[in-house]
Amino acid sequence: MKYKNAKNILPKELLTEIQKYIQGDIIYIPIQGKKISWGEKSGYKEDLNNRNKQIFNLYTLGHDISEIQDMFNLSKSSILKIISKIKNSNPSLGGVVNE
């Protein structure tokens, strides 16, 4: 979230009205309408989902966990969590993650 000076973006009358309630503090003004979840606006959420699918696909193709760790610079526990989460969200995949 980027800081913006109200003096530079709000009409003077509105700024004067807001100053009756708060001055010199930072306030959060929520988005009106549909709430955007974390990472949607920047595309980071989609990037992580794609990375996690790639990790899972490598695992299902038989790559070792340590090999996947090196490819993505993630810890073993992070790789195992990603694989387990995808398996648990798709019951047809079944089974327990093999270390």
Q: Is residue 32 part of a domain?
A: no
- Residue 78 belongs to what domain range? 44-93
Q: Is residue 24 part of a domain?
A: no
Instruction: Provide the whole-model pTM.
Output: 0.60
Q: Is residue 81 part of a domain?
A: yes
Kindly report, residue by residue over 30-55, the tens digit of the pLDDT.
878 887 888 888 889 999 999 999 99
Q: Is residue 82 part of a domain?
A: yes
State mean pLDDT over 6-20: 94
Q: Is residue 67 part of a domain?
A: yes
Say how many domains are in the chain. Answer: 1
Q: Is residue 37 part of a domain?
A: no
Kindly report, residue by residue over 55-95, the tens digit of the pLDDT.
999 999 999 999 999 999 999 999 999 999 999 988 776 55
Q: Is residue 1 part of a domain?
A: no
For residue 68, which of 52, 84, 79, 83 has the smallest C-alpha distance? 79
Cβ burial of 4 (10 Å; 0-12, 13-18, 19+) is: exposed
Return the CATH number at 58. 1.10.10
For residue 86, which of 41, 44, 54, 56 has the smallest C-alpha distance? 56
